[in-house]
Amino acid sequence: MYKANRKIPCVYMRGGTSKAVFFHDQDLPQDTEERDKVILSAFGSPDLRQIDGMGGANTSTSKVAIIKKSEREGVDVDYDFGQVSVDMPVVGKTMNCGNISSAVGPFAIDEGLVEAVEPITTVRIFNTNTNKMIVARVPVKDGKAKTEGEFAIDGVPGTGAKVQIEFSYPQGAVSGRLLPTGNARDTIEIEGKTFEYSFVDAANPVVFVWAENFGLEGTELPWEFEARTDCAEICRILEIIRGTCAITIGLAKDLADAAVNSQTLPKIAFCTVPKEYKAGDGKIISADRVDFVGRLFSLGMKMIQAYMGTGGICTVVAANTPGTIVNEIVCAGKGSDKVTTVRIGHPFGIMEVDADLEDLPDGSHAVVCGMIGRTARRIMEGNVYVRD
């Protein structure tokens, strides 16, 4: 039994547009149940304010990363991600977070798990949630990961050193299949109305739905969406679609089970064609600057204020998958069925996602590697005290 008020070494890091508490695997209990108790205590969950812990009271700042030196051939570190629920005693482990993935390399270098090599250190990361490889290319100076630089990402103030994250063969991360239903598009009838969706599993499984099917523009900001009188009803329908897909990939036995035990996956996203809108920081995003407009949802059907890194990888894969909703939107705008870059319009700006493609015999294109540029920064290091 882990003792209450015991201090545990940790590092608090920002990766992309998210923050996480980083632990060394050896510093946590090896028993899964005890480990979850420690993590929940460290974050102050469950509590809507997470007032008695490290959590920031929203899904983007309630994340945990557990790192250890890998014994796998060709791998530097193993990385286990956890989405810590704010209002339930749950540590979701079925997914990975692309934004937090960008902080794993810098953490591994600064903690001495990987030898620092200037000017760029390549860190080979095995994500245990999805059993997929991630390669991080981290700028290094004086034996430590660089923080300062000229690279900017929307949703994070200022600039920093660019960390290139590469997701190798991201297809089938959870279900083992790129298209879990076997179809590029499916329909579901709910209370007499038909909704169309594309269910794509790459880096993380995402269900893409037309925003217009729900009476939306698709450019709504999170607080604008939550202020709508029909917000709760829209979220109820979204959860039925999301839960149905959770059942499809074996993460839940029924809709009630999905709502409780499979909140983290699959994700669901509104999508629409490029159109002008005002981002959360007031800047105007013109239609010609984006290829796709998306709004992702996380735990508790809360719209994310930016865009998940793994969601971006799934989006570029979907753009290269004939017949999907994303493929229709992106290829129509580009006038090509070969998509090497997708500019995603999200609530706080634009995320650019790149892809290395392999041409297939049928004329389509498979994503060999999906890539995003992020910044990361060590914010705090020390000890966190856990309670019973």
Task: Give the Cα-Cα-Cα angle 187, 192, 197 (nearest 5 degrees).
Answer: 20
- Residue 35 contacts residue 79 (beta carbons within 8 Å): no
User: Taking the mean position of all CA atoms in its chain, how far away is CA 95?
Assistant: 8
- Counts for the chain of helices (H) and strands (E), in that order: 7, 21
Closest CA to 129 of 180, 78, 60: 78
97 is catalytic: yes
- Residue 383 contacts residue 10 (beta carbons within 8 Å): yes
The residues facing 321 across adjacent strands are none
The residues facing 318 across adjacent strands are none
Exposed, middle or buried by CB within 10 Å (0-12, 13-18, 19+), for 135?
Answer: middle
Catalytic residue from among 97, 133, 331, 371: 97
142 membership: H or E segment, kind and range: none
Torsion region of 323: left, alpha or beta (phi above 0 gives left; psi -120 to 50 gives alpha): left
308 is catalytic: yes
User: Taking the mean position of all CA atoms in its chain, how far away is CA 144?
Assistant: 26
Closest CA to 194 of 237, 248, 239: 237
Closest CA to 296 of 158, 203, 182: 203
Axis-axis angle for helices 325-334, 309-319 (nearest 10): 70
- Cα gap 132→136, rounded to integer Å: 13
Query: For 265-282, b where at least 16 C-beta lie within 10 A, e where not — what string?
Result: bbbbbbbbbbeebebbee
Catalytic residue from among 308, 331, 351, 371: 308
Residues with Cβ within 8 Å of residue 372, at least 6 apart in sequence: 16, 98, 102, 164, 165, 309, 312, 313, 351, 352, 353, 354
Two tokens, residue 366: 């498979």
Residues with active-site annotation: 97, 308
